[in-house]
Structure 1
Amino acid sequence: MSGLLFWKDMLLCFAALFLQERGLSLDRYTFLMYLCYLTYAPVYIAGPIVGYNAFAAQLEVPQKNYSFAQISWYGLRWILSFLLMEGMTHFFHYNAFVVSRLWQQLSPFEVFIISYGVLNFMWLKFFLIWRYFRFWSLVGGVETPENMPRCINNCHDLESFWKSWHASFNKWLVRYLYIPLGGSQRKLLSIWVIFTFVAVWHDLEWKLISWAWLTCLFFIPEILVKSLSSKFQATSSLGMLVHREFKAIAGAVTISCLMVANLVGYVVGPSGIKVLISRMAGKDALPSLAFIFTTFYVGVKLMFHIRDASKNQG
Structure 2
Amino acid sequence: MSARVSEENRPDCLETEPTCSSTRVDEEIILDRPDERETDDDTTGTPQVVPSLDGDDIIEELKSGMEFNLFEDLLSYYKQYAKKCGFGVMTQRSERSEDQGGFENLIFLKNDCRNYIDKTRHLRLGASGAGALRDYFMRMQYKNNGFFALINLGDDGRLKNVFWANPCSWAAYQYFGDVVTFDTTYLTNRYGMPFAPFVNVNHHEQSILLGVRLISSEDMETFTWLFQTWLQGMDGIAPNAIITDQDRVMKNAIATVFLETRHRLCLWHILKKVPKKLGLYAAYRSGLKTQLMKFVYDTQTIEEFEKYWAGFINTYDLHENVWLKIL
| TM, length-normalised to structure 2 | 0.24
Higher strand share: 2
Q: Which has the higher helix share?
A: 1
Normalising by structure 1, we get a TM-score of 0.25
For CA contacts below 8 A with separation 6 or more, give which structure has more relative contact order. Answer: 1
